[in-house]
């Protein structure tokens, strides 16, 4: 399958589960804490500078953003978690939306892959571990993308990789890809994984 990454648009910014798209094309969702680099990764994968908003004010938007990628698939930017300054009401909106995406999604069969982002400098946060456990239980396919590798030196990088791959929370044979939106490290590997899952 060939994908024209110039033919991409934001289809809907859903603030409510009833707005989730029903088009019968595969979805690849991006999950992770606020500020981990989700929007930046989406921009990098699509070769854009500013299609997905890169926020200087993290955690602001609680929406599920569907990007139509050449009518072949949707990239789904899930709202970030772990934003400390969120009000209880916003926290509830977050859980309703994300829970709705995975449990009340009429098109859950179309969710082919979750790209779970983790900050390579920080490793798994408790929220990351909760999310991964949730996906294990719900049988959701995922890969781990470690972001911001440009900020690590060689020693830090080796240490980060070891901590990421040895965590027992991971399903056996989970793919882990090191990425940087600055150097574009990992871009081709993430695309290869995405294609593998959507062509399954």
Contact residues: ligand GDP, CB under 6 A: 32, 34-40, 54-55, 58, 80, 147-148, 150-151, 180-182
Q: How far is the CB of 121 from ligand GDP (least distance, A)?
A: 9
- Quick one: CA torsion of 111, 68, 58, 170, rounded to 10 degrees? 30
- Minimum distance between the CB of residue 43 and ligand GDP, rounded to whole angstroms? 8
Both structure tokens of 139: 């049988």
Q: How far is 111 from 113, CA to CA, in rounded Å?
A: 6
Rounded-to-integer distance, Cα 136 and Cα 131, Å: 9
Cβ proximity to ligand GDP, 108 vs 191, nearer residue: 191
Q: Binder to Mg ion among 27, 39, 180, 181 (CB under 5 A)?
A: 39
- Say which entry of Mg ion, ligand GDP, none residue 34 contacts (CB below 5 to 8 A, set by partner kind): ligand GDP
Nearer to ligand GDP, 27 or 39 (CB): 39
Q: Which residues contact 184 (CB under 8 A, 6 or more apart)?
A: 44
CA atoms within 13 A on the CB side of 90: 14
The nearest distance, CB 45 to ligand GDP, in angstroms, is 12
């Amino acid at each position: 399958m060939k994908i024209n990454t110039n033919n991409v648009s934001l289809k809907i910014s859903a603030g409510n589960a009833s707005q989730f798209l029903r088009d019968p094309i595969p979805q690849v969702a991006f999950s992770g804490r606020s500020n981990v680099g989700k929007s930046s990764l989406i921009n990098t994968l699509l070769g854009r500078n500013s299609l997905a908003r890169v926020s200087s004010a993290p955690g602001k938007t609680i929406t599920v953003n569907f990007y139509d990628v050449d009518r072949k698939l949707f990239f789904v930017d899930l709202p970030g978690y772990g934003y400390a300054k969120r009000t209880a009401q916003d926290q509830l909106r977050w859980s309703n939306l994300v829970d709705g995406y995975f449990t009340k999604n009429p098109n859950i069969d179309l969710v082919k892959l979750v790209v779970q982002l983790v900050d390579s400098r920080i490793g798994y946060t408790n929220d990351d571990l909760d999310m991964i456990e949730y996906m294990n239980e719900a049988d959701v396919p995922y890969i781990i993308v470690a972001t911001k590798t440009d900020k690590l030196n060689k020693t830090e990088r080796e240490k980060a990789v070891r901590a990421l791959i040895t965590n027992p929370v991971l399903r056996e044979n989970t793919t882990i890809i090191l990425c940087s939106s600055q150097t574009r490290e990992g871009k081709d590997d993430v695309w290869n994984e995405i294609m593998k899952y959507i062509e399954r």
